[in-house]
Structure 1
Amino acid sequence: MSFIRSSLPIVSVFSANTNVGKTIASTVLCRGANAVLGRHQQSQMMAETGLNSSVLYLKPVQTGYPIDSDSRKDHITFCPGIRSETLITYTEPASPHLTAIQENRIISDDNLRQRIMAAIEAFSESLGGQTGFSLIETAGGVHSPTISGSLQADLYRTFRFPVILVGDSQLGGISTTLTSYESLLMRGFDVPCVVMFDNPKYSNHTIVRSNLEKNTTLFTIPAPPPLSIHDTAFGSSADVSNMKAYYGSVNDQATDIAKYVLDTHATQIKRVNDLSHKSISKLWWPFTQHGTTSTAMVIDSALGDDFTVFDPTLQRSRQLFDSCGSWWTQGVGHGNVHLAKAAAYAAGRYGHVIFPENVHEPALHLADRLLETAGKGWASRVFYTDNGSTATEVALKMAFKKTTTQHNLIKPKLDVVGLNGSYHGDTIGAMSASDPNVYNEQADWYIGRGVWFEPPTVVLKHGKYIVRLPESVTILAKQYGWTEDLIRVSLENRDQIFDIQRDESKLAQLYQAWIETTLGEAEKNGHVLGALIIEPVLMGAGGMMWVDPLFHRQLVNSVRNRNSCAPMPVIYDEVFVGMHRLGFASAGVSLLHVEPDIACYAKCLTGIVPMAVTLARETVFDAFKGESKIQALLHGHSFTAHPVGCQVAVRSIELLESLKEKRVNCTDSAASRSEHQQYVTCVWDGDLLDKIAALSIVDGIVPLGTVLAIELATTEKGYASQASIDIIRALRTEQGGNIFARPLGNVIYFMATQETPTDRIQQVLNKVYNQLVQLK
C-alpha cells in the first residue's frame, strides 16, 4: 500500500514524545508548503477544479476532541489556505487504544489504513494533475499505540511516507529524539529532516544534529510564545493573537523547511526514474537473458507479501504481490520488524567475528534450535555455510567421506543416486549431483556423476490427486502382468497421498522392484554409489514437481537396505522445502516419515540475509576425526556463522514455530492423529483451485504448503519453454492483477507465507483464474 506519486509529495510527522510541538511544527510546514507552491497555482486550481487548496493536513486519529483541539491546533485559523481533515475522533483525552475501549469503538489497523488511503486518493484526484502536498500528523510518539494497540510506527510502515521527526527540546529530549530516529530507520523509513524548537537552555539540537545520518538535515525554529500569565487557558484572544504573530515570524524558516522537503521528494522521484535504465547498463542479473531484457522493475520497498514498485509510465507506485517469495526466501514476509531488530542487535554487538575454534552465542543458540526442530531425533552436528549451493556441496563431501571411510575405499570415483530434474545448486559438486539439464549444460567442467530416476509425480486435476507414473514403471508393471488398475492412484485429498499405509500397496512393491533393478544394473556397470540426495516432496527448480512421497520413502529405505551394516548416507536437500515452506521444519522427516543422515537448509532459515546450514548425524561427524588437520572437513568461508545471520535465523525459527503451533491448535483433528498422520496444510485452498485445475489449458496443479504451481498444457515442456511468458507479463500489469510472478518453463508458481490472509489468497487465485480463462 506504500504510496509514491510524482505530483504529490506526502510526509508523515512523528514526534519524539507527546507535547513537544508536533502540531505547531506541522502547521509551520503546511504554511511553508503553501507559500512554495505559490498563489498562481492556487488560482489555477480554483479555475480548473473549483478548489482552492493544494495542501492537505490529515489527522487520522484525534483524542480529546473537541475540547483538547485548542486554538493553537486550529489549522484553519493559522493556515487558511489548506484543507484540514480528521478521520477518527474520540472525546477522552488519552491514548487511542484506551479511548477506543472506553467508547466501544475499536477500529482495526487495516480499516484505519484504508481510511487514510481513501483520503489521500480523494485529495490526489481533486488536484487534477496539479502539484500538491500532503502532511499526515501522527498521534503521540513513534511507539505510541494505535487504536488497536499495535505500535504507531508499525502501522505507518505500510505507507512508508518520508518522516519529518519533531524532536524534543526539553531536558531528556536528546535521548528520546535519537531513540525515535533510530527506531524509524530500523523499520525502513526515510527521515529527510528533524525539526526542533530552539531552546538555548539545553541546546538539544546540537547533539542531535551530530548524531544524525548524512542524509538527514536538522532544522531549528523559534519556540512558540508561552501562555500569557493573564490567560488561564489556550485559546484566548490574546493567545490567538500571539500565535498569529508567531507563525508570521517564522515564515522564512517555514519556507526553507518546505523547500527542502519538496526538493527531497523531487530528488527521490528522479532517483527512482533513473534506476531502471541505469541498471540495464551496469548490472548483470542471474538467470536473465540480457539480450531480450530492456527494462527493469524498480522495487522501492517491500512489506508482508508485497513489493512497492515505481511505475515510470504512470509516475506513481503500485503494489505487487510477490508470488515468487523473493525467490523462495520468505517465511514470515518482507520487512518483519522482529527480524530487523534481531539483525540490528547482532550487528551492534558483534559485527562479524571469526568462527573456526571459536563460539559466539547466536551460533550456538541457532545450533540448539536446529537440533530441536529440523534435526530432532537424528542430527547432532551443525555446519555453517553461506548459501544453499554450498550447503549441499558440504553435504556431498560429508556423505562421500562417510562412504569412503566405512568401506575402506581409496580415492574412489563415487556417484550419487538422485532424481531427474533435480537442482542442488551452482557449485561444481552440487551441479555434478544432478542429471544433465539446462542448469548445468553451459558448464564445461560438468560431468554428471550419478544414477537418476524419473520421479513419479502428483497433481490435482478434476478434483482428484493423481499420481503420474514414469514410463519405465508402467513397463515394469506390464512385465509383472499387473493391470493398470492395480497401480493407478487417484485420491480424494492431500492427506491420503501422504498416508504411510500406502506402503502396503502394489505400487509400493513396484517402486521397490524398479529401484532395486535400476541400482543393481548401475553397480554392475561400474557405478560406485556414495550417497542418495533428494529434494523431499517438492522439487523446486525442476518445475515445482510434487514427487510421490511413497516413491521417496521406498527410495530411501531401498538404498539403506542394500547394505544394512554400512548403509548408504541419505541427504535431504531441504534448502527450498525446509523451514516451514510446506508447514514443517523438515518436510522430509515429517511427511516421508524417514530420517536422513545429512540435511541442508537455507532460504526460509533467515528470510532476509544469506545463511545456510548442513545438519549431520554423529556417525558422519566421526568420519572426519583424526590426528591430522588434513583429515578434517576443509570447507569454509570468511563469513561462516556470521552473528547477524545466526541471530536472525534464531528469531525466524521462533516465529515460524509459533505459526505452526497456531495451525495445530486450529486443527480439530490434530490431537487424534498419530505421528505418521501429519496434517498436511496448504494456504492455497478453496473452490477456485478445482476451477483452475479443471481448465483445459492446465495439465494439473500442485497446492502444497505455501506453494501453488500450475502446469500449463503445452507440447513445449521444461525450463526452456516459453509457454508461460504471456500470462506472466499479464499478471504483472495493473489490469492483469499486480502479481509479480516468474516462470519456470511451462509452470507458473505462486508463494505465500504462513501468515498471508485468506482473503488475499482468494484475491490472487481469482486474478490468476481470470487470466488463465482468457488464454483458454
Structure 2
Amino acid sequence: MNLSERDKKHNWHPYTQHKTAQDFPAIVKGKDALLWDENGKEYIDAIASWWVNPYGHSNTIIADAIYKQLTTLEHVLFGGFTHDKAVELSEKLMEILPSNQQKIFYSDNGSTAVEIAIKSALQYNYNKGIKKTKVIAFEDAFHGDTFGAMAASGISFFTEAFKGSLLEVVRIPVPTFGNEEKALQVLENLVKTNDFAAFIFEPLVLGAAGMVMYQPEVLDKMIAICNQNNVFTIADEVMTGFGKTGKTFATDYLENKPDMMCLSKALTGGTIPMAITTFTQEIFDGFYDDDTNKALFHGHTFTANPTGCAAALASIDLLHTNEMQDNIQRVHQSHLTFETKIKNHPKVKTTRVLGVIFALEVKTDTAESYYGTMRTKLYNFFIENGVILRPVGNIIYILPPYIITENQLQKVYQTIENALEIV
C-alpha cells in the first residue's frame, strides 16, 4: 500500500469532500520551488504551499536557525516567562512594522491572529464601559476558520452552518475600480452609528476571494473615516505580509496606518506554525489597569515558541537581502510580461498583478462556484502537468516562492495557457 492509499485510512484533509476527492499526491521531498511525490514526479509549487514558503522548501538558512535553537531552548511557556528570541523578534519587527505599531501578541496561526484582534477591539471598549459589539468587514472577505474570524468572513458556504452562532458583522462592498464611492459611503453611514468596535480588511488584495484587488488611496480614506469615528482598523496581512505585494507589508502603500495587524503564513518561511497580532500603544493601554479582570485573557501553549521565533528571525533577514528583493522584482516583471501576452486571449475576462501575485479570470457563460466543475477540471489539469495551482472558481492565480527560476515561471505560464484550451 503506497502513502496515498495509507493516507485515506485515517486522515481528514481541510476543505475536502472525501467522498468525491481523488487520491492525493504524497509529497516526500521539497527543494526551492520544487516538490517530489512518492513516485518521483516533480511539481512546481506555484502557490508557495498556501502562501507560506517564499524562500523555498528546505531552506538551509532557516533550517540551521531552527536546529541551533532546538539544541539550545526548544520551548518555554510564555505565561510568566520570556526568552531571548521573543525579545529579539519583537525588536526586529519594530524595525519593519508601521511606526504606530508598538506591541506584539504571539499566537500560532492566521485565524487566531484575527481572533485576538477582534477580541481586543471588543474588550477595549468593554473595559472603557462603552458598548460596541459589532464589526465591519468586506463582502467576500476571508479571515479564517475560528469563530470570530469566520464571522468576519464573507464567503457564505464556509460559514453557513454556523451563522446563528456568530458575532454580528456588517459587510460593505469591496472598493474595486468604479465601486469606491459606494463603499466609502456605506462605511461612513455605519461608523456614525457608534455600534462598531472595528473594521477588518485584507489590505489591497482579497486572497481567498480570488485575488480581488483595490487601490491604496481608497483604503487610506476608509481608515481616515474610521479614525474620525473611533472605530479601530485591523489589517489582516496573513497573506499579503512579508513581500507578497512588492513591499514588506501591503500597509506600506498607505499613508494612514491600521491600529492592529495580523501576521502569519510567511512569518517563519513555511517551517513552524506561528502568528502575531500587533497593536498601537493606545490599545495596549486600554488593558493596562490595576484591575486584573481588564487583562487580555487569551493565550496558547506554544505562544512565542522559541524555535518559531528563531525561524521568523531568519526569515525576516532573508526577506531583506538584496537577492530576495531582486527576486521579488524579477517575478513581478515576469508577471507583467505574461499579463501583456495573455490578457487579450479570447477566454480571458480580466487579469491583475500586484507584487508577486498574478490573477486571471476565465470567461464563463454561467456563475462558477468556488469548488465548481471548472475549478476541479483546471486543478486536476495543473496537477497532471506538474504545477501546483489552486484556482478559486474561475480565477487562476500564481503566488510563487520568490526564488522560483525564470524557466519554472515560464512553465507555469505555459501550463496556464494550455489549460485555457480545455475550458
CA contact (8 A) 1:684 1:708 kept: no
- Determine the structure 2 residue equivalent to 1:578: 241
| Alpha-carbon distance in structure 2 between the residues aligned to 1:437 and 1:324 | 24
- Determine the structure 1 residue equivalent to 2:198: 531
Post-superposition, which runs of at least 4 consecutive aligned residues in structure 1 deviate over 6 A?
A: none
| Alpha-carbon distance in structure 2 between the residues aligned to 1:661 and 1:298 | 29
Q: Normalising by structure 1, what TM-score?
A: 0.52
- Determine the structure 2 residue equivalent to 1:292: 20
User: What is the RMSD of the two structures over their aligned residues, measured on CA atoms?
Assistant: 2.3
Cα distance, 1:322 vs structure 2: 1.0
- String of CA shifts for 1:475-508, please: whole Å, max 9, x gaps: xxxxxxxxxxxxxxxxxxxxxxxxxxxxxxxx6x
5 Å matches for 1:471-510? none
CA contact (8 A) 2:202 2:236 kept: yes
- Determine the structure 1 residue equivalent to 2:115: 393
Q: Which amino acid aligns with 2:133?
A: L
The structure 1 residue matched to 2:80, chosen from 347, 353, 357, is 357
| Alpha-carbon distance in structure 1 between the residues aligned to 2:411 and 2:136 | 42
User: Given the alignment of the two structures, is residue 697 of structure 1 paired with residue 416 of structure 2, yes or no?
Assistant: no
Relative to structure 1, the CA distance from residue 613 to residue 651 in structure 2 (aligned partners, 3 Å threshold; closer, same or farther) is same
- String of CA shifts for 1:280-303, please: whole Å, max 9, x gaps: 121000101101024121111111
Cα distance, 1:658 vs structure 2: 1.3
User: Given the alignment of the two structures, is residue 325 of structure 1 paired with residue 48 of structure 2, yes or no?
Assistant: yes
User: Given the alignment of the two structures, is residue 560 of structure 1 paired with residue 222 of structure 2, yes or no?
Assistant: no
5 Å matches for 1:243-258? none
- Determine the structure 2 residue equivalent to 1:616: 279
Q: Secondary structure at the match of 1:441?
A: helix
- Determine the structure 1 residue equivalent to 2:383: 732
Cα distance, 1:304 vs structure 2: 0.7
Q: Which amino acid aligns with 1:300?
A: V
CA contact (8 A) 2:47 2:401 kept: no
| Alpha-carbon distance in structure 2 between the residues aligned to 1:425 and 1:550 | 26
- Determine the structure 1 residue equivalent to 2:419: 771
User: Given the alignment of the two structures, is residue 596 of structure 1 paired with residue 258 of structure 2, yes or no?
Assistant: yes
User: Given the alignment of the two structures, is residue 651 of structure 1 paired with residue 314 of structure 2, yes or no?
Assistant: yes
- Determine the structure 1 residue equivalent to 2:368: 717
User: Given the alignment of the two structures, is residue 548 of structure 1 paired with residue 271 of structure 2, yes or no?
Assistant: no
| Alpha-carbon distance in structure 2 between the residues aligned to 1:291 and 1:569 | 43
Cα distance, 1:659 vs structure 2: 4.2
- Provide structure 1 residue ranges, at least 5 long, that are not aligned to the other structure: 1-272, 312-316, 458-466, 474-506, 668-679
Q: Secondary structure at the match of 1:290?
A: coil
**Structure whose alpha-carbon radius of gyration is higher:** 1
CA contact (8 A) 2:4 2:24 kept: yes
| Alpha-carbon distance in structure 1 between the residues aligned to 2:220 and 2:323 | 24
| Alpha-carbon distance in structure 1 between the residues aligned to 2:246 and 2:43 | 24
Relative to structure 1, the CA distance from residue 280 to residue 305 in structure 2 (aligned partners, 3 Å threshold; closer, same or farther) is same
CA contact (8 A) 1:419 1:435 kept: yes
| Alpha-carbon distance in structure 2 between the residues aligned to 1:602 and 1:683 | 26
| Alpha-carbon distance in structure 1 between the residues aligned to 2:188 and 2:155 | 23
CA contact (8 A) 1:386 1:611 kept: yes
Relative to structure 1, the CA distance from residue 448 to residue 353 in structure 2 (aligned partners, 3 Å threshold; closer, same or farther) is closer
Cα distance, 1:768 vs structure 2: 1.3
Cα distance, 1:400 vs structure 2: 2.0
| Alpha-carbon distance in structure 2 between the residues aligned to 1:756 and 1:591 | 25
Q: Secondary structure at the match of 1:392?
A: helix
Relative to structure 1, the CA distance from residue 619 to residue 681 in structure 2 (aligned partners, 3 Å threshold; closer, same or farther) is farther
Q: Normalising by structure 2, what TM-score?
A: 0.93
User: RCO greater where, 1 or 2, for CA within 8 Å and sep 6 or more?
Assistant: 2
Relative to structure 1, the CA distance from residue 595 to residue 686 in structure 2 (aligned partners, 3 Å threshold; closer, same or farther) is closer
Q: Which amino acid aligns with 1:333?
A: G
Cα distance, 1:553 vs structure 2: 1.9
Q: Secondary structure at the match of 1:760?
A: helix
| Alpha-carbon distance in structure 2 between the residues aligned to 1:540 and 1:295 | 26
CA contact (8 A) 1:431 1:446 kept: no
Count of aligned pairs between the two proteins: 421
Q: Secondary structure at the match of 2:234?
A: strand
- Determine the structure 2 residue equivalent to 1:147: none
Q: Secondary structure at the match of 2:373?
A: coil
| Alpha-carbon distance in structure 2 between the residues aligned to 1:752 and 1:661 | 13
- String of CA shifts for 1:613-649, please: whole Å, max 9, x gaps: 0111111111111123322110011111111100000
CA contact (8 A) 1:388 1:575 kept: yes
Relative to structure 1, the CA distance from residue 684 to residue 717 in structure 2 (aligned partners, 3 Å threshold; closer, same or farther) is farther
Structure 1 stretch displaced more, 719-728 or 287-296:
719-728
- String of CA shifts for 1:578-623, please: whole Å, max 9, x gaps: 11122222211x1233211110100000021100001111111111
CA contact (8 A) 2:135 2:197 kept: yes
Q: Secondary structure at the match of 2:339?
A: helix
Q: Which amino acid aligns with 2:370?
A: Y
